[in-house]
Amino acid sequence: MAFEEFSDCFVWSCDQCDQQAVFPPGDFWSALAELKARGWFIYRDRDDNEWAHQCGRCKRKYSASILKKPIGKIVG
C-alpha cells in the first residue's frame, strides 16, 4: 500500500523505490499538496483502480525513459 494513516502521521511510499514521505496528522489535503510540490505524482492505476504513487526522482526517471523510445510510425 502506498498510503497509510496512523494516529501520529500520514505516510506515503513510492511504488517504484519505496522512498517514504511522512507528515504529521491533521490536514490530509495540506500534506498532499506539499507532496505534490515536492514532485510526487499520484494517480489511479487503470488496471486495478488503486491509487499509485511516484516520488519526484522516479517520476523524472520514467519521463526521461519515455523520451528515449522511438517515435511510432503513423499509419493513415
DSSP for the chain reads --EEE-SS-EEEE-TTT--EEEE-SS-HHHHHHHHHHTT-EEEE-TTT--EEEE-HHHHHHHHHHHHTSPPPPP--
| 58 is a domain residue | yes
pLDDT over threshold 60, residue 4: yes
| Those residues with Cβ within 8 angstroms of residue 43's Cβ, 6 or more apart along the chain or in another chain | 51, 52
Q: What pLDDT sits at residue 6?
A: 94
Check residues 44 and 73 and name the one with the higher pLDDT.
44
| 50 is a domain residue | yes
Q: What pLDDT sits at residue 64?
A: 53
pLDDT over threshold 90, residue 7: yes
**How many structural domains does the chain have?**
1
Range of the domain at 7: 3-67
| 75 is a domain residue | no
pLDDT over threshold 80, residue 10: yes
| 11 is a domain residue | yes
| 19 is a domain residue | yes
| 32 is a domain residue | yes
Average pLDDT, the chain: 83
| 31 is a domain residue | yes
